[in-house]
Amino acid sequence: MQKTPIILSKPPAERSKQPPPPAAPAVPPAPAPLEKPIVLMKPREEGKGPVAMTGASTPEGTAPPPPAAPAPPKGEKEGQRPTQPVYQIQNRGMGTAAPSAMDPVVGQAKLLPPERMKHSIKLVDDQMNWCDSAIEYLLDQTDVLVVGVLGLQGTGKSMVMSLLSANTPEEDQRAYVFRAQSAEMKERGGNQTSGIDFFITQERIVFLDTQPILSPSILDHLINNDRKLPPEYNLPHTYIEMQSLQIAAFLFTVCHVVIVVQDWFTDLSLYRFLQTAEMVKPSTPSPSHESSSSSGSDEGTEYYPHLVFLQNKARREDFCPRKLRQMHLMIDQLMAHSHLRYKGTLSMLQCNVFPGLPPDFLDSEVNLFLVPFMDSEAENENPPRAGPGSSPLFSLLPGYRGHPSFQSLVNKLRSQVMSMARPQLSHTILTEKNWFHYAARIWDGVKKSSALAEYSRLLA
């Protein structure tokens, strides 16, 4: 027989006193994600750098404290807007200096233009040596016009350059930027300007005044006409002509415009001198190897400036249309074989000096401009009146002058010269300071020119 199974168990009262069976090990809860730390920036104090404070995560249920507001710097009132940053212009050689060591006034001074010139200075002295003082008045900008002048002794070169640059006819000539020939110098028969004088205007126009042109033919002409020669002309004629040729060849290379001043029409020896100076003129420096491949046909181009013939101290009959046409025709024939730009850039007809003449009145118009005597303005203040027997109306009219006033013509000449094209002097664009160094190199080359040396040897 099968026995009945017996189940042994404790009473319910004792069962409740029994400790619960061990439970399975519980998985630890995942830690709460950490909040981003709050960075509080402390305002910079004198002698200390910025201090950063990092705060740990805030307890649960509490809001993070607000960031502390930076304290206003010293000298700034509460509620006032923060001051703007001050930028200082740093000069070369000051890159390692501390910011506190740089003076902002010095930086602002670098932005100011150079000091305005009150009188001319030497670019080439009387010993034909180059002077470096002119570079202090130059800038690093490319919008510059260079105007030079050539002419015989006593033709008024310095006066013309002063009137074109900074002075007016009403001023005392002793205050001109280019000193004109004094009465004592006229009595000695000498020249006031020696070498090359330099002046630059606030409009960035460079004016170069030069000593008179002297060549053997011109000296012989002066002697034959009983003109006085100063002691400094008692030198070999070859040496005197070499100086004049050096200056003329230099101007033909570094100037945009060259003004040839005459006080009578005309001296054939002057045109022979201009042709000789053009012949010995230095060639335009060749471009670098980097730009030679892209220059193409421009590699062989030669630079020639604008040439303006200024007839100073012109008389009334010089303004006659028939005489004007003859003067233009003669200059055109004398300069026919020249490469200088002596025509097409200046016109007296286009500036309304001769309002009754048509634009095509001159068959071959050259760059010729006429200026009367400056002293005639004083006479024209009280011009002769009509006689007593004439009509009362005509007695109030001024006398016939035959040309515009001196001041009016000078203003027209200045306007036309300053509006001329500014061709590139070399194969690279030059700033004012680059032009100065370029001119110094050209002058050194002119003094060592083999063409001038050979020409001098042939004359000896």
User: Directed axis angle between helix 432-447 and helix 237-254, to 10°?
Assistant: 150
d(CA 347, CA 310): 12
Exposed, middle or buried, 178 (CB in 10 Å: 0-12/13-18/19+)?
buried
For 128-165, give the DSSP string: S-B--GGGGG--S-S--EEEEEEE-TTS-HHHHHHHHH
* Helix, strand or coil, per DSSP, at residue 53: strand
Provide the 8-state DSSP code for 169.
T
Q: Please report the pLDDT score of residue 356 as a whole number.
A: 83
Cα-based angle 268, 274, 280 (whole degrees, multiple of 5) = 140
Provide the 8-state DSSP code for 256.
S
Distances (CA, A) of 309 to 32, 150, 181: 96, 10, 21
Provide the 8-state DSSP code for 183.
H
Q: Please report the pLDDT score of residue 115 as a whole number.
A: 74
d(CA 206, CA 431): 12
Exposed, middle or buried, 153 (CB in 10 Å: 0-12/13-18/19+)?
buried
Helix (H) or strand (E) holding 124: strand 121-124
d(CA 208, CA 222): 25
pTM: 0.69
> What phi and psi, each to the nearest 5 degrees, are found at residue 257?
-130, 135
Q: Please report the pLDDT score of residue 284 as a whole number.
A: 80
Average pLDDT, consecutive stretches of 10 residues, N- to C-terminus, the chain (460 residues): 71 64 57 59 54 46 51 48 45 43 53 76 92 92 94 89 90 85 63 84 93 69 56 60 90 96 89 92 68 41 93 92 93 94 90 85 91 67 51 63 88 92 89 95 92 82
List the strands of the sheet with 257-262, edge to edge.
Answer: 121-124, 196-200, 205-210, 145-151, 257-262, 306-314, 368-372
Q: Please report the pLDDT score of residue 166 as a whole number.
A: 85
Q: Please report the pLDDT score of residue 41 as a whole number.
A: 63
3-state SS, 421-437, equals CCCCCCCCCCCHHHHHH
3-state SS, 362-410, equals CCCCCCEEEEECCCHHHHHCCCCCCCCCCCHHHHCCCCCCCCCCHHHHH
Q: Please report the pLDDT score of residue 89 as a whole number.
A: 43
* Helix, strand or coil, per DSSP, at residue 282: coil
Nearest to 410 by CA among 374, 357, 366, 359: 374
